[in-house]
Amino acid sequence: MIGQRIGDYVVTEALGEGGMGMVYKGQHVTLGQVVAIKSLHSSLMNNQAAKDRFVREAQALARLNHPNIIGLKNFINDANGCFIIMEYAEGEDLEHKLQRMGLIPPEQCIPWFIDACRGLEFAHRQNIIHRDIKPSNIMVHPSGVTKLLDFGTAKLVDAQRLTQQGMTLGTVIYMSKEQLLGKPLDARSDVYSLGVTLYECVTGQLPFYDEEERKLVVKIAKEEPIPPSQHYPGISKELEAVILKAMQKDPANRFQSAAEMEQALSALLGGGRGVTASTVGGASVPPVASAPPVAPSLPAPAPVPGSVLAPGAAPRGIILSPLFLAGVVLWILGFGGGLPVLLVVESTGARLAAAVLMGLSGLLGLLLVVVAFLQRQNSGGAASVPVSAGAPPPPSGAVPAPGSQHQAKPTCPTCGRALLVGMTECPFCHPQAAPAAAPAPQPFNPGGTLNINSQQQQFPSPVPSASAPAGSPSLQVIDGNDKGLRVELSLGTPVTIGRAPSCGLTLNDPGVSGTHAAVVWGNDRQIYVEDRGSRNGVFVNNQKVQRQTLKGGDLIVVGSTRLLVHAG
C-alpha cells in the first residue's frame, strides 16, 4: 500500500493494524495535508456485515464535528477498496502512556478525561454510543487536547440494527455489565468504560482481571472493584468516589451522562467546568486549582493580609491607625477653631489668622491620612488586629487570592511525581514501614494455567522470612496480599518472583504472572531485577524496565504488589 494513491491522497507509511483493517498515514497530493487512512481488509470486502460496520463508522464520524473527537475528511469506496480518510491525530494514546509510565498522576490525567467526557457527551447528543472506550482509543496531543478514536463499534441509535440479540462488540475488560450480557445500551455504558479507563490510569492496575474470559465476565458482573486507594494510597477520596460511581453495576447509580461525570471531574480541579487545553483555542493551559468550598455552617475565616475587602466592609485597619486618627483630629481642631472666627469676628487680622490655621491644619491632617494609607499598602494589607483565642484559623491548603504570589505544586525529589494536596511524601518512594514481625507465608494454589517458562533454569529457592540478617540485601513486600513478607538475597542466587509455587517469592496476586521477574545479588555486589516474560511488566520507581540495577530504597512493582529493596 505504501506509495499507492487513494483518491486525492497518497499512502506514506503504515501506522497500525486492527481487527477490521489497516491504518496508514497519508498526504493530500495537492494540499500536502497529512491524514490517517483506515482501510477495510480485502478479505472482508465480501463480508456484508463487516462492510456495513465500516460504513457505519464513517457515518458516525460524519456527524461528529467536535474538538475532542477525531474528524472525518472523506470516505472512498472504489475498485481499490473501502477507505475512511480521517484527521491525523498526533500525540500518544493512553495505552502507550501506561506502558511507558506505569501509572499517570491524577492531576495530569484528569484534564484529559474532562476532554473525553466532552467528546462523549457530544456523541451521545447525536444518538451515537461509542461502545469501545479504552486507553488505546483516547489520544492525547502534545498540547494536552484529548481526542476520542475508533468509532468502528459505535452504535447509531436510530440506525438499522447490525448486531444480533446478545452479541457484544468492544473490549471485554472495559465493558459494562449490561454490554457483556448483550442488553440494550445507552450513554451510561460509555461512562462505565471511561471509569474503568480512569481507574487503570491512576492506579496502573485493572479493576478486574482473569486469564479466562469466562471468569473475567463473572467478576465484572458480580464482584465489586478494589478501591483505587488500595493500589495507590495517594489518590484523593473525591477522585476515588468519582471513579467508583462511574463503575457502578447498576446504570441508575452511575453518572447519568458524560456531562455529569465531566462536572464531577472539573470540581476536583476547582472552578466549575475547569480549564483544559481544548477550551482555549487548543492552547495548552494548565488547570486552575482552587480551595474547596467552605461549608456555610463554619465561621468565616479572618481576613488574609493583602485580600480585597468586600463591598460595604469597614476598613478597620486604617481607622485604628494612629496617623489616620491624628490627621482627623487636626482637621477637626483646625476647622472647629477657625470656622467660627471666620463667620463671627469682623477683624481682618483675626479672620486671616483663622484662615491660615484652617489651611495648615487641613493640609497637615490630609498629609497624615495619606501617610497612613501608604503605610498600610506597604505593610501588605490591613494593620495588625488582635484575634481572640477562639477565632478559627484560616482554612489549610487555601489557594492564594488573585494577585498573590503563585506557589508551584510540590513534587517528589526522587521520582518527580507531583504530590497531591495533603501529601508530604511520595507513597511510592517513601512507603510506610512494614510491621516488625509478619505472619509466615501461606501456600497459594493459583489454579488454572500458569504462565511458567519451563525452559528457564531452576535455582534453589530462598526461604522467605520476617526479617533478614544484617549485611545481606533483601526484598520486603510493603503493599499487597502478602504485605510484610520478606526474603533474603543470597550472593549469586536469583530469587524468582511470581505465582508459581516453585518461585523463590510466591505471591498471592492475580495480577502477577506464573514467573514474573527475578532479582539477583550478583558477584559484583550489585542487585539486579529483570522481567521474565510477564504479561504486564515490571516497574522500578514508576518506570517500566526489562533489566535494571537496584539500590537500597528502590520500589519494585509487579501486578498490585509493591516490594521495597533493602541494601543490607
Q: What is the CA radius of gyration of the chain?
A: 34
Angle at 391 between CA 389 and CA 395, to 5 degrees: 125
Estimate to the nearest angstrom the gap between the alpha carbon of 31 and the chain centroid: 38
Measured distance CA(446)–CA(250) in Å, rounded: 31
Measured distance CA(111)–CA(324) in Å, rounded: 50
Assess contact for 512 and 559: CB atoms under 8 A: yes
What DSSP string describes 60-82?
HHHT---TTBPPEEEEEEETTEE
Residue 479 cell numbers, joined: 503493599
Phi, psi of 362 (to 5 degrees): -65, -45
- Stretch (H or E) spanning 216: helix 213-222
Going by C-beta distance under 8 Å and a sequence separation of 6 or more, which residues neighbour residue 537? 99, 102, 531, 544
Measured distance CA(99)–CA(398) in Å, rounded: 35
Strand partners of residue 135: none
- In this structure, the number of other CB atoms found within 10 A of the CB of residue 130 comes to 30
Could you tell me which of 520, 515, 495 has the C-alpha nearest to residue 453?
Answer: 515
Q: Which residues are catalytic?
A: 132
Measured distance CA(96)–CA(426) in Å, rounded: 24
What burial letters (b/e) apply to 263-284, b meaning 16+ CB within 10 Å? bbbbbbbbeeebbbbbbeeeee
Measured distance CA(279)–CA(290) in Å, rounded: 18
What burial letters (b/e) apply to 349-388, b meaning 16+ CB within 10 Å? eebeebeebbeebbeebeebbeebeeebeeeeebbeeeee
Measured distance CA(192)–CA(188) in Å, rounded: 6
Measured distance CA(406)–CA(400) in Å, rounded: 7
**Placement of cell 526474603 in the chain:** 487
Q: What one-character DSSP code corresponds to residue 407?
A: -
Residue 433 cell numbers, joined: 514501614
Could you tell me which of 224, 228, 195 has the C-alpha nearest to residue 208?
Answer: 224
Assess contact for 371 and 402: CB atoms under 8 A: no
Assess contact for 44 and 52: CB atoms under 8 A: no
Measured distance CA(478)–CA(476) in Å, rounded: 6
Residue ranges with strand state E in 388-470: 464-465
Going by C-beta distance under 8 Å and a sequence separation of 6 or more, which residues neighbour residue 322? none
Phi, psi of 123 (to 5 degrees): -60, -40
